[in-house]
Structure 1
Amino acid sequence: MITRLGLHLEDGTLRVTVDGRPLVQDVAGVERRIIDHPDRSLAGDYADLGLHEVPDRDVTAYLATDGAEREVLGCTCGSAGCWPLLVRITVGPREVRWSDVRHGFRDWDYGGFGYTFAADEYLAELDAVDRLLRADPNSTGTRGPW
Structure 2
Amino acid sequence: MADERNKISNKSIKPALNSVELLVDSSMLMQRPSEAISSPDNVQDWTETHVHEWLCKNDLPQMARILSGMDGLGLIYFSEHMLQSESQQVLLSLQQDSLRRVNENVSLIEISRLQSLFEKQDLATLAPRKQMTRNTKNSKSSRHCNII
Higher helix share: 2
TM-score normalized with structure 2 length = 0.32
TM-score between both structures, scaled by the size of structure 1? 0.32
Structure with larger Rg: 2
